[in-house]
Amino acid sequence: DKFQVYTVKEVLSILSSNSPITSKPKNNQKTPFESHLSNKEDNHTEKNKHEDKPKILKISELENPSLITYVKSRKIDLDIAKKYLSEIYYSYNNKKYFALAFKNNSNGYETRSKYFKGTIGKKDITLINGLENSKVAIFEGFFDFLSALTFFKTEKFKSDIVVLNSVALTNHIFKLLRGYKTVNLLLDNDKAGNECKKLIEAN
């Protein structure tokens, strides 16, 4: 069985070495990378779907002081963040906003700030090529991925990386995973993470 799921502490080392990990996660144990972002003032939720789509005004290197402060508050190394994140400026319903931006495979952007979590453009996974093409590690979100890089003080892992950007996109990776000998799942040990694991194992 090439599909295995572990706690973050147990599995992170596989990203920087070829050593197998055999221990299993404890029941109900959460990863340290969970985040709960909310926006009470500028909330882009389901109720806004009928309104105008966000319009991108500018995408640039990460330099905005408030976004840098947010990155640091998430305990992410700034040099690593600058390698994978941009800052995006966009308009929505005649108002202007800015946020961190993480590009996906369909040229859409996962966007984050202290107050906002969403997607601009088409929702998709993000595939990041590593130094080996026989192994892949799967993260739920890009902050999980950046936290792992920060933990190991590296800007790139040996294995390929898939950031789902949402567990709802799990079915997008079934064909992709068939090309790997080893698949490592770095998912939250909760209902959504366990359902994602079951779907991957079944396909």
pLDDT at residue 105 greater than cutoff 80: yes
- Tell me if the pTM is above 0.85: no
Which pLDDT score is estimated for 131? 86
Confidence bin at 45 (pLDDT 50/70/90):
very low
Mean local confidence (pLDDT), 106-125? 96
Strands (E), the chain: 3-5, 55-61, 86-92, 95-103, 109-112, 117-120, 126-128, 135-139, 160-163, 182-186
Closest CA to 177 of 143, 124, 133, 132: 133
What does the alpha-carbon distance between residue 115 and residue 37 come to, in Å, rounded to a whole number?
6
Contact 100, 62 (CB under 8 A): yes
Residue 182: what residue type?
T
